[in-house]
Amino acid sequence: MRILIVEDDINLNRQLAEALKEAGYVVDTAFDGEEGHFLGDTEPYDAIILDIGLPEVDGITVLEKWRGAGRTVPVLLLTARDRWSDKVAGIDAGADDYVAKPFHVEEVLARIRALIRRAAGHASSEIVCGPVRLDTKSSKATVDGKPLKLTSHEYRLLAYLMHHKGEVVSRTELVEHMYDQDFDRDSNTIEVFVGRLRKKMGVDLIETVRGLGYRIQAPTNAN
């Protein structure tokens, strides 16, 4: 899962980025509204953290531009605690949620998890596909209750496929959501990660759809 942070406070931006990376996300950062708008308009993100009080272009204007262009990515606004009018303006502009400063980073992580889950149509913090269970809160996966030891890239691949279970996901889409903008992307590595996942899981859940990509089938009785 790939996140964009648009926050001009360098220390806060870094703190959020480190926490998200530790939780298994790929993170891009921007420090003003102009750069943030460009990235959100040209790169595919699973969620965006957007501060309202940005230099160059304010956060509300950035959000309105995204929504006006048809960008549906979930957006979490960072607002000042005593500015209720900013919260109202942000929600009206198309924000999906907000958190007031100062805040605990754990709250931001929880809200981001919830936004991504809801965008993919999942109500629970756990996503189940047959014997495979993904706990988005702990960033852990199990097969028949036994923990899977995954690398960061393997976890990102499994998490993205499970969030989009039942859908065919192309290699290009996987690459775009597994690596940040500065990474030397190679779609051929996806096949390697898929092979490793299949071997570690020991169950035949990841289907290769020839010429299109990969799919994790959702059993009819799955959550």
**pLDDT tens digits, 162-216:** 999 999 999 999 988 888 766 666 667 888 899 999 999 988 899 999 989 999 9
| The domain defined by 2-119 carries CATH number 3.40.50.2020 | no
Beta bridge partners of 126: 135
DSSP class of residue 28? Answer: E
Task: Report the pLDDT value the prediction gives residue 108, as an integer from 0 to 100.
Answer: 96
Q: From CA 96, how far away is CA 176, in angstroms rounded?
A: 23
Q: List Cβ neighbours of 91 (8 Å cut-off, separation of 6 or more).
A: 98
**Closest-CA residue to 90 (of 102, 103, 77):** 77
Span 51-56, average pLDDT = 94
Q: What is the pLDDT of residues 59-113, one digit of tens each?
A: 999 999 999 999 999 999 998 867 788 889 999 999 999 999 999 999 999 999 9
Span 151-171, average pLDDT = 92
Residue written as token pair 């996901």: 169
Q: List Cβ neighbours of 188 (8 Å cut-off, separation of 6 or more).
A: none
Angle, alpha carbons 2-148-114 (nearest 5°)? 35
Locate the domains of the chain by residue range. Answer: 2-119, 126-216
Task: Report the pLDDT value the prediction gives residue 122, as an integer from 0 to 100.
Answer: 84
Number of residues that this document lists for the chain: 223
Task: Report the pLDDT value the prediction gives residue 94, as an integer from 0 to 100.
Answer: 95
Other beta carbons less than 10 A from residue 20's beta carbon:
23
* CATH number of the domain located at residue range(s) 126-216 in this protein: 1.10.10.10
